[in-house]
Amino acid sequence: MCTGRVDLSFVLRAFLKGLDGVFVGGCQFNDCSYGTQGNYHALNMVLLCKKIMEHIGLNPGRLRLETMSAGDGILFTELMNDFGKQVRGFGPLGKGEGIDENVLKSRIQAAADIVPFIRLVERERMRLPVQSAEVYYNFFNSDEFSKLFKETVLEKLVDSQIISLLRERPRTSGEIVKVLELTPSEVSRHLNITLRQGLVRYEESEKRFAIA
């Protein structure tokens, strides 16, 4: 299967099921077996996913993309051994990052829930013309990308995280602040957004928020 078919949802699902690492291996750049340059799409997806992982507290080193030819058996073995050693060094998923298991699942699920939105943003505003891997790395490490990522994906992700928490049980704004590790003003802004959209409701008697 072409690495260009490896969807963001596949990676998040793997972490949601508790896998400690995800390795994506494909053709060498500019040597696509299908003539679609799908490995560049895979690189785009991986770099974007790493940014999401950073935000939800996961070590981005748990996701890795490598390219090689079909005849590079020795190289493949070396890369897999190295990745396995690296992931073992991180420790079990979540524990290595010091994140509670339930909190981690909630964060990953929140990201998985907005994959259709992320795909749309990526296709319209974050997908680059196929040039070189260096161009992709430069873009995803640029101030331009950071600003775009914050204004689109992160905004939607925080809303999704709040909804994911409230699906578990109603919570006060203070409880949401503690779990998301955001400022009270940031949480208040996002709660107001989800209230206006009719996604959550405020229970006046209990002074807490719940799913609408």
The answer as to whether 187 is a domain residue is yes
Query: How many C-alpha atoms does 82 have within 13 Å on its Cβ side?
Result: 11
The answer as to whether 142 is a domain residue is yes
Q: How many domains does the chain have?
A: 2
- HEC string of 23-69? EEEECCCCCCCCCCCHHHHHHHHHHHHHHHHHHHCCCHHHEEEEECC
Tell me how far apart the alpha carbons of residues 181 and 187 are, in angstroms, rounded to a whole number: 9
122 and 202 together in one domain: no
58 and 102 together in one domain: yes
41 and 116 together in one domain: yes
What pLDDT, on a 0 to 100 scale, did the predictor assign at position 48?
96
23 and 115 together in one domain: yes
50 and 104 together in one domain: yes
The answer as to whether 160 is a domain residue is no
The answer to whether 40 and 130 are in contact (CB under 8 A) is yes
What pLDDT, on a 0 to 100 scale, did the predictor assign at position 127?
86
The answer as to whether 161 is a domain residue is no
What pLDDT, on a 0 to 100 scale, did the predictor assign at position 102?
87
9 and 80 together in one domain: yes
Query: How many C-alpha atoms does 19 have within 13 Å on its Cβ side?
Result: 13
The answer as to whether 162 is a domain residue is no
Question: Mind listing the pLDDT tens digit for each residue in 177-211?
Answer: 988 888 999 999 999 999 999 999 999 999 999 99
pTM: 0.90
Residues of the chain short of pLDDT 70, as ranges, are none
- Tokens 């070189």 identify what position? 132
What pLDDT, on a 0 to 100 scale, did the predictor assign at position 188?
95
- CATH number of the domain that residue 185 is part of: 1.10.10.10
Other Cβ atoms less than 10 A from the Cβ of 169: the count is: 10
**Residues spanned by the domain of 131:** 3-153
